[in-house]
Amino acid sequence: MTRTILITGASRGLGRACALNLAASEGAHLLLLGRDKPALDVTAESVRQTGGTAETFAADVTDRTRLAAIAGGLGSLDGLVAAAGISGMTPVDRESNSEGQPTDAFFDEIVAADLTGPWNTVRAFLPRMGPGGRIVLVSSVLGRFGVPGYGAYCAAKHGLHGLAKALALELIGKGIVVNAVAPGWIDTDMAQTGIRQIAAVTGQSEAEFRAQAEDAVPVKRFFQAEEIARGIAWLLDPANTMQVGQCLNLDGGVVQV
């Protein structure tokens, strides 16, 4: 039977990679959510060419009214991947970061998208999910430790781990399994922005900082979104019955717990 799986942040990066993986591996029907409708349409066309089917919905995960309206028009849902998120520096001792983003306002924006957004998504679409459902919240290695200047992002991703644990215990009685993933550096636009910002703050070239970041990873490289998507697909697999309320590290050995 074809599964229906909703993915937020599906317009690019990891969200798009998850959609293509599920289309190729099981011919899934993908519900693609994101703020960039033209980019979502590109993902949807790639899904169809890869063997799946797709619908697109322009939505911001901070907009509860919009999410509820989308959910109200759907049938049953088998899986949910909360991949939407933003990143950036929020230096606690400055009024703005190196890219001119106001610290306090940007802090609120990151937490709203990266922590409250997944909560909003689960709240809106949970009524469409029954026993056997699978939910994956996309966190980060920065949900495992702190990085100077990334207070908002670290706080949101740490919070996401707690949210996954709480939801897992709350929903397992309904037959719905909740887990999280914590990727390391992924070769995406978001990573490139991070490289640029940190290089500017530390006085390095982007190439120098990237080499330093790669050297800090035991496998000595960044990862492709497709690699992380395979880990998420495993957590979504109905055959995965024992991973409950856990966070799967997909970071090349940076965190070993």
Q: Which of the residues in the chain have pLDDT under 50? A: none
Strands 4-8 and 77-82: parallel
What would you report as the CA-atom Rg of the chain, rounded to the nearest whole angstrom? 18
202 Cβ contact partners less than 8 Å away, ≥ 6 residues apart:
209
The DSSP code for 186 is B
pLDDT computed for residue 27 by the predictor: 98
| CA nearest to 97, candidates 109, 108, 111, 107 | 107
pLDDT computed for residue 99 by the predictor: 85
* Beta carbons of 103 and 97 less than 8 angstroms apart: yes
Rounded to an integer, what distance in angstroms lies between the CA atom of residue 136 and that of residue 177? 9
200 burial (CB, 10 Å; 0-12 / 13-18 / 19+) is: middle
pLDDT computed for residue 190 by the predictor: 84
**Which residues on neighbouring strands pair with residue 249, listed in sequence order?**
182
Rounded to an integer, what distance in angstroms lies between the CA atom of residue 185 and that of residue 210? 10
Q: Annotated active-site positions, please? A: 153
Q: Give the model confidence (pLDDT) of 220-252 as tens digits.
A: 999 999 999 999 999 999 999 999 999 999 989
Cα of 237 vs its chain's centroid, Å? 17
pLDDT computed for residue 56 by the predictor: 98
pLDDT computed for residue 185 by the predictor: 87
pLDDT computed for residue 90 by the predictor: 96
* Beta carbons of 122 and 166 less than 8 angstroms apart: no
Strands 247-250 and 4-8: unpaired
Domain spans of the chain, in order of start: 4-250
Q: Which CATH class is domain 4-250?
A: alpha beta
Predicted model pTM? 0.95
pLDDT computed for residue 248 by the predictor: 95
At which residue do the structure tokens 């919240």 appear? 137
